[in-house]
Structure 1
Amino acid sequence: MPVQHNTKLLIVDDLPENLLALSEIIKQDDRIIMQASSGEEALGLLLEHEFALAILDVTMPGMDGFELAELMRSTEKTRHVPIVFVSAAGKELNYAFKGYETGAVDFLHKPLDIAAVRSKVNVFVSLYQQRNQVRHQVEALEKSRAELHATQIELQRSLRMRDEFMSMVAHELRTPLNTLFLETQMRKMQLEKGRLDAFGEAQLQRMVERDDRQIKSMVRLIDDMVDVSRIRSGKLSIRPSETELSDLLKRIVSDLSHQAASANCDVALQADTVAHGVWDEFRVEQIIVNLLTNAFRYGSGKPVVVTLKTNPLHAEISVRDHGNGITAADQHRIFEPFERATTKVGSGLGLGLYIARQLAEAHGGALGVESVYGEGATFTLKLPFRNGLNRR
């Protein structure tokens, strides 16, 4: 039920004693009585406020009540305000007929019948309040309808995302599983035929490396799905400890050197600054690995630069590639779950950047991107030195 605001009533009369007397007759706690001593003053109030009723004196110097009524009926804002005329002139002048012609809803003759005036005003106030209540109900209904429509669209989007997600998971897991299955079948066939020479040291080394890559790929996909579930349930684990970022970056770049070589990317590390802080080293590494992996994937084989800077408030790690870049429209979307800037390169569930940003924010930090399409992209991670951790 909407809150009922005070109802405004307008009295227009050039005599102060008439304004006072009529105000006393119709005043109530839930009403605001506004007064005007001329037609011009009344017009100003009518354009500024919303009135339930206007009580106009017929005879006034300058603009009389009839002229004011005609102006009210010609203006959209005041066209529907009910008008009641008041006159001390005799009924033989036929003012009432002229008043109704100008759009009045009633005509009162002086001396006024106090009970009748109160009764009539009460009726118009009640009609105004009921009309407002209906209007509020219609507005609320329209708002509910719009919210329901938005909910339906979001539900359809969620169902579509679920179906796409299940399809992506099946596809992404099928690739390493198929490779492992084929490798296993080949080894089984070799063993059944007694060809043990196929399992020499060099061959076994290659087999183990292939198996390791496929298993890590599946583990990474499963870890991503688990992290998304934890993020959405508010159970993401952050375990802060003393961490030094310069050494961490050197180790990550070294560990990913083979991956960089496979992508034909040279990695330049500019991390001479020592940056000690209280962060979750595992989670920070997870963010940087994701950024570097994306730089290799989308960097078109061009150099990748990793930079560490500090200021009194935070440490700042940036990863810059020189690939195709990211359009302005995609720069926000890529941080949403199951989204990627392009489907033409690479694979994956589109969870990496979403998880990375959530991990950055869990540290009280931020992860953003700057890019001009066609000129590469720079992802920047900011980690506060003070304990701004959002423990989940």
Structure 2
Amino acid sequence: MENTKILLLDDREENLISLRAILNRDDIEIFATTSPNEALRLVWENEIAVALVDVQMPGMDGFEFAETLFSNPKTREILVVFVTAISKETTYAVRGLKTGAIDYLYKPLDPYITNAKVDSLIRLARSQKEIREKNRLLENYATIVINSPDMIATVEPETGKIASINPSIQTILGLSPANVTGGTILDLLVDPLNSELREVLVKRTYASGDTIVVEDRFFGRLRQPVWLELRIMYRNRLLFVNLHDIEKRKAHERALMDAQAQAEKARKVKEAFLANMSHEIRTPLNGIIGLGNLLSATELSQSQRDLLEMLQQSSGSLLNILNDILDISKIDEGKFSIIPASTDLRSLGKGIVDLMKFKADEKRLEIRLDIDPKIPGSILVDGMRLTQILLNLVGNALKFTHEGNIQVKFEYVSEVQQGHKIKFHVNDTGIGMSSEQIANIFSEYGQATENTSRQYGGTGLGLTISQKLTRLMGGELEVNSRLNGGSQFFFTLVLQESQEKANDNRTPIAFQDLPTFEGQRVLVAEDNPVNALLLKKYLRTWGLVATLVENGKDAVDVLREQQFDLIILDTRMPEMDGFQTARYARQELAVTTPILSLSATVLPEEVRQAFESGMNDALSKPFEPEKLHNKINHLLSLNA
């Protein structure tokens, strides 16, 4: 049997090498390329049956490539399977299927699943090729192929009466040709009044001369419905109909739809869990951090300030862990955005080293920063996410290094067409890792060894989130290490030089030193007593007259009697939550006062819900007092 020709298209050569290794079989002839344009030439010159196409590629992505194939009669029959590492979100699957693709493969590829799907695709491709050959015979007024595995019939156009049908009807539907000949083909349908075939006959769409393809359900053995694909061609005043059993394909489609429904249900459950978890942890955490801010504004002994510093460090660590969990979830669902801005890499690097120096001093380690002078002064990069990556790497280096030094190095590699290639290093002289340990460190919740978490602490999320963020920025986090020989983590990014001056980092202003809003009236609805106490303290320090209530229902009662310059609503409260309160105030009480949402979750859906309910702005807990002050200042200006 002739080998099946398969096209592999991926812009990364290493992915093509991996796919070749998985599909190394005698019955397959592989054509591989990293260029979509080269791939189009290959499919034009070769009879490609199956194309495994990467989704994300520069220039022409996988969806556009597939659309190009299906727009050309010569290549539209190629079976396209998308290979992706983006997300299993329903939006991507539906978009791919709408382009004409029949399935997805998700990276990292499982060799067994990949080979099983390729086997299925080869069988499907061969089956479709057989059908196409039979249709060509029909187009050339060939005689009905008696031994065809498909049902082949001639039908009178006006009446739908079956003039002839081959013996395959016995195999597929359990009926003899003699019993159905002379009857109408509509009599074999499960729902003839609502069938596509009936539409073809009634509207005479077959008269155009084109091959018409419809799918319909027929009664099979024991009156069980069977899905058949009908290819209908009008020749010599007869309809030539090829009926192919697609029950297995339909079962696969149903299974895929069920899987998509289950995935959507799981996504909503996960989203609800994350929202609840975020709320339940961030609410008390906001109280802890806020009380620390209030304590820092009082007179304290040195020992008390030391304890307060440890309290703030611990709450900050807990917040970082929570943010890592939520960031991973958003990246996996494709809801995470990288936002480049003008950034001074020298200031960024200095800020990281200054922040981690106290920890290095505690362990009597040297931490130094080396920045290549060739690096431009202002670079377009998401500075917050780059900082997050480097802080994770430096934190790990400090954790696993007991003597020696930590080096943070920014190396200018070269100038390229897209910008400047810059390599970021974090090197240490710590305990290092074996090759077996390295294999596990980038997996979610993975640790180098089972004892690592017990001995050194940590969740195993830091390197996972760093790797995911690096990939979103166009790089790949790599590591060189050996046991007792230190570790070198590094990644390379191609970044553009910015014409704007980078924003300088500045020290946050203490809440008691912020400008006041004398005499402005604020209504606050907050059910958590600690958070209510914090808000009351902040607002009164800033000269605001605050009225506090415990839930949305009480807030509505107060709004019926009094007017305010600003309303602050917690989103999750008993009896009436913040969204319901805002909606009621806008629609029933016609309140136009600016409303600020305070939420203990950071999910974008909750921010969107806040705006849809009539709120003007949103702030997530735990918040810095200065950010709350800025929000209040902005919203009060709306009254001017």
Instruction: Give the structure-1-normalised TM-score.
Output: 0.50
Taking CA–CA contacts closer than 8 Å with sequence separation of 6 or more, which of the two structures ends up with the larger relative contact order?
A: 1
Instruction: Name the TM-score, length of structure 2 as normaliser.
Output: 0.33
The structure with the larger Rg is 1
Looking at secondary structure, tell me which structure has more helix per residue. Answer: 1
